[in-house]
Structure 1
Amino acid sequence: MAKLTVGIIGAGRIGRLHAEHLSRNAQVEIRMISDVFVSDELSAWAEGLGISRVTSDYKEIMQDQDIQAVFICSSTNTHVPFITEAAQAGKHIFCEKPISLDYRQTMEALQAVEQAGVLLQTGFNRRFDHNFKRVRELVQGGKIGQPHLIKITSRDPAPPSHDYVKVSGGLFMDMAIHDFDMARYVSGSEVVEVYAQGAVLVDPVIGELGDIDTAVISLKFANGALGVIDNSRKAVYGYDQRVEVFGSEGSVCTNNDFPNTAEISTQNGIYRDNPKFFFLERYHESYIDETAQFIASILNGEKVPVDGHDALQAEKIAFAAKTSLLEGRPVKLTEVQ
């Protein structure tokens, strides 16, 4: 069985998640993991996964000629230089979203990837969700005819910390960027115009930090369809993730995932449990599938399922949305050059 040797940069929540999934993949050997904060706890955790080396210097991963692929799970401001270094070292790359907070820097990273001839997959894990994949399959198969309306609801159960908000790039780049990618994915068409409205209705400190916590974003697609995305940083009942595509011959929609399908009916009403609480629970299987497909793409010499172009387009839509919010007008994607 062919095996791929990988290194992981960043041992925070998402880096550890990927490491744990990769450690169960028989086609993967995790050679090394790096993080700026190396502790006894991190070393013990890594040892438990069979990772032989933990380092505070990511360059050791870049310089290790036996490492064939790098997972970049560090802070967003490091993504572009790390992608560039990994590409120049001839390593395939998996990078968490967004590649950068400035799409022009992302373009520079993608140029380095193209010049090196390596693969780059970006972490839009929702594409691998069983519900959303089925929506896309049905739309692409013509089951609902020509798409007319795309509706996406994406609401977190609780707002992020204020320290995170400061460095997140804002709601459009941090949160809604998944929805911008999902809009392209399920519609099968590019976004050509964006109009965004936002408010601070959840946490006033988020507004003081220059961001919003509630948004409605209208989209126009190249195929003529219209779209709307609604975002909130706080849904008190749990993680709210829904999609609907309405077309000339019908519609397809997918609702939230629940821990179970049990319902209790009494004289006071009909009840069921709240949706799965947050993204690690809701998208557990999709995280496994995205890394497995990245590994398979390398070993089989195939294209990755979601690449740098997809990341760039989502970032451009996010930039257009921010511009629209600030200027109070629709923004065409042709303006984002």
Structure 2
Amino acid sequence: MKQILQSFKTGKTELAELPTPVVKKGEVLIQTTRSLVSLGTERMLVEFGKANLITKARQQPDKVKMVLDKIKAEGLMPTLETVFNKLEQPLPLGYCNVGKVIEVGEGVIDFKIGDRVASNGQHAEFVCIPQNLVAHIPENVSDEEAVFTVIGSIGLQGIRLVNPTFGETVVVIGLGLIGLLTAQMLVANGCKVIGYDLDDTKINLAKEKGILAFNPSKGNDPVKYVVNQTNGVGADAVIITASAKSNAIISDAANMSRKRGRIVLVGVVGLNISRAEFYERELSFQVSCSYGPGRYDDDYEQKGRDYPLAFVRWTEKRNFETVLNAIASQKIQVQDLITEIVDLENYQQIYGDIGSSKSIASILKYKEDNKPDHSIIVDDKKLAVSTGNIAIIGAGNFTKMTMLPALKNTDAHLKYIVSSGGVNGTALAQKHGIAKSSTDYNEVLKDEKLDLVMITTRHNLHASMVIEALQHNKHVFVEKPLSLNLEELSTIETAYEKSKGSLMVGFNRRFSPHIEKMKDLLGSSQMNIIATMNAGSIPSNVWVHDMVVGGGRIIGEACHYMDLIVFLTGSRIKAVCMNAMDVNPKENTDNASILVKLENGSTGVINYFSNGAKSYSKERLEVYSQDRTLVMDNFIKTTGYGFKGFSKLKTKLDKGHKNQFGRLVSSANSGKGISLIPYEELINVTKASFAAIESLKSNSWVEV
């Protein structure tokens, strides 16, 4: 399928060939007929992409601080590599989509094949959208009209926050597409609407729709005009839909407001607010978030959990439906807002001069006879290899920034990369010479010439994908964790026993030259180990904290050090006890100390903390044994005390990824499987991570 993408690095906009996404649970697959170009938002993204690095940095000072902290902790070159990799990631454009449902995912009951729908889908021939972001189109609303649904909902959410009453005067600053739709809805709500903009074409359109519109560059002072039109009272409310860097707009909005007026920001403007202007009038100010309640809430958007109507009357989906009904009843008229309708293949008519475009609404038109294809050939020269073929499942940050760079100088035969949407996977396939980009994991497994499957998806998919790959007799590498619970692990064990394939978990740290040196120096002996992970805080709404999706950070990441302790001691874990800093610990924590007993009498302490300084070393390991001590600092420096002939090892940051993947590929190509870590240790460490969570809940030692 074809989709419009934009580069953050260069600002280039292209029509890319991508695999069609596979419909998932709770989603519908839509074949697009029309999509609307949001000129304001997309112009901003294109201009940001075209800016140089210094300008980009000035626009994102918070990101600059993160980069500086990373340089202090990990060094300059790894940080620069991360930054440039991030900039290379393509950005799908668009969020106003109309089309027909061609496939319905499990659990979807509101939609059927053939339904015409509006959604926040991108500029792509096929889009896969969660059901709470899709709305039915009334029969008397055309596709060209319905494509205004989502952008209209942005304005509607601003209106709901203003909460206007019949007869109030509301000012709309900026009469672009969102501003014109907002003003129309306010008129339909019984408000006196004043609007202004610098474009006379938009002013004339607004006047035709019953709005008191003017161009401030033609002699009218905005504040004086509004005060005069309200008999000296001032506006009851102001909705700012403009996009400008100036602080003058927020100042004007304050000065034109009545006592205790309301100001809502929908657009993007300078926010250097004068306390005096807001203080004297006791003004309220609020920023509107996209198209309504539910936005950016994974429970609502991705998991389909609707808010009860009695408590949240207007969600983003119900806002979609409201806008569509208003178009159907002609309370909102959008046909005269359409500047141009362009075939998708001619997209450069819109994007070529988007920076200077005077268009109000530009619509892309799609062919309706295309068929979905979940796999595309990116590099046909790489298809000739008959053995040692690899499929990478997942195209996230780990694959992009760690795995693929580590595989670069190996003999890896990369035949497939599978990603959920196809965008990131295809970009990585093009950069790293991968033969095919796909969105269908099960179809890839059916390839009899595929030998090794490497899984780097979100944690909740690991177990099921490992099981399916083993059932197809593939060799399987999976990034940690292996599974999220004992039931999944038991099923994996059953599949492993019946499979001709082999299994490896991405416990890369044991392959670091620092850890291998420590192992060589320590030999076989009892020891005490203290491991500290200065993991850094991650917002609570990020998926890794979700026990169903991510399994929490103990199962998902602290398992690395459980594996290191097993490796260094040469013994399996027999019991675990975990204590958390949380006042009321239940099962999820990222501030905890884990005590570990080993079968050979060794002991370990794993301190997993998220409340430390990011500028401090991220990882530290101390080992005490036979009057000797080893201290490893962040996989850069290892210092020995009491060892004859060894005092220090210093390298660039090396967590063992290159060594791990190099050995993995060599082993797979030799036909010997990929069991670089004993299977029993993989199972033991996974069970130990579950035991840590159980210990937290039971407040006791738990046997593994």
* TM-score, normalised with respect to structure 2: 0.40
> Is the contact between residue 297 and residue 303 of structure 1 (CA under 8 Å) also seen in structure 2?
yes
How much is the aligned-residue C-alpha RMSD, in angstroms? 2.7
Structure 1 match to 2:432: 49
CA offsets 1:290-330 (integer angstroms, 9 cap, x no match): 11111122233266222543332112111211121111112
User: Which deviates the most, 293-302 or 97-106?
Assistant: 293-302
Structure 2 match to 1:263: none
Q: Indicate which of 8, 14, 19 corresponds to 2:404.
A: 19
| TM-aligned CA deviation for residue 103 of structure 1 | 2.8
| TM-aligned CA deviation for residue 258 of structure 1 | 5.2
Structure 1 match to 2:414: 30
1:111 and 2:488 correspond: no
> Is the contact between residue 110 and residue 308 of structure 1 (CA under 8 Å) also seen in structure 2?
no
Give the 3-state SS of the residue equivalent to 2:484 in structure 1. coil
Structure 2 match to 1:217: 594
Change (3 A) 1:231 1:191: same
Matches of 1:241 and 1:95, distance apart in 2: 22
1:152 and 2:531 correspond: yes
Change (3 A) 1:179 1:247: same
| TM-aligned CA deviation for residue 209 of structure 1 | 9.3
Structure 2 match to 1:271: none
| TM-aligned CA deviation for residue 63 of structure 1 | 1.2
Give the 3-state SS of the residue equivalent to 1:6 in structure 2. strand
Change (3 A) 1:161 1:291: farther
> Is the contact between residue 151 and residue 228 of structure 1 (CA under 8 Å) also seen in structure 2?
yes
CA offsets 1:236-285 (integer angstroms, 9 cap, x no match): 123431222212342323223459xxxxxxxxxxxxxxxx9xxxx9446x
Structure 1 match to 2:662: 292
Q: Indicate which of 375, 386, 391 corresponds to 1:7.
A: 391
Give the 3-state SS of the residue equivalent to 1:99 in structure 2. coil
1:163 and 2:542 correspond: yes
Give the 3-state SS of the residue equivalent to 1:98 in structure 2. coil
Matches of 1:303 and 1:3, distance apart in 2: 15
| TM-aligned CA deviation for residue 179 of structure 1 | 1.2
Q: Provide the identity percentage.
A: 25
Matches of 1:210 and 1:308, distance apart in 2: 27
1:82 and 2:465 correspond: yes
Structure with greater Cα Rg: 2
Matches of 2:427 and 2:668, distance apart in 1: 30
Matches of 1:303 and 1:56, distance apart in 2: 25
Structure 1 match to 2:698: 327
> Is the contact between residue 122 and residue 308 of structure 1 (CA under 8 Å) also seen in structure 2?
no
> Is the contact between residue 103 and residue 312 of structure 1 (CA under 8 Å) also seen in structure 2?
no
| TM-aligned CA deviation for residue 230 of structure 1 | 0.9
The structure whose RCO (Cα within 8 Å, separation 6+) is larger is 1
User: Which deviates the most, 207-216 or 71-80?
Assistant: 207-216
Q: What amino acid sits opposite 1:52 in the alignment?
A: A
| TM-aligned CA deviation for residue 45 of structure 1 | 3.1
* TM-score, normalised with respect to structure 1: 0.81
| TM-aligned CA deviation for residue 95 of structure 1 | 0.7
> Is the contact between residue 392 and residue 453 of structure 2 (CA under 8 Å) also seen in structure 1?
yes
> Is the contact between residue 4 and residue 68 of structure 1 (CA under 8 Å) also seen in structure 2?
yes
Matches of 1:304 and 1:217, distance apart in 2: 28
Structure 1: gaps (5+ residues): 202-206, 260-275
Q: What amino acid sits opposite 2:407 in the alignment?
A: L
Structure 2 match to 1:228: 605
Matches of 1:2 and 1:42, distance apart in 2: 22
| TM-aligned CA deviation for residue 210 of structure 1 | 5.8
> Is the contact between residue 132 and residue 243 of structure 1 (CA under 8 Å) also seen in structure 2?
no
CA offsets 1:9-38 (integer angstroms, 9 cap, x no match): 11111223323432432x221111111111
Give the 3-state SS of the residue equivalent to 2:677 in structure 1. coil
CA offsets 1:65-91 (integer angstroms, 9 cap, x no match): 221111111122222222222122222
1:189 and 2:571 correspond: yes
> Is the contact between residue 2 and residue 299 of structure 1 (CA under 8 Å) also seen in structure 2?
no
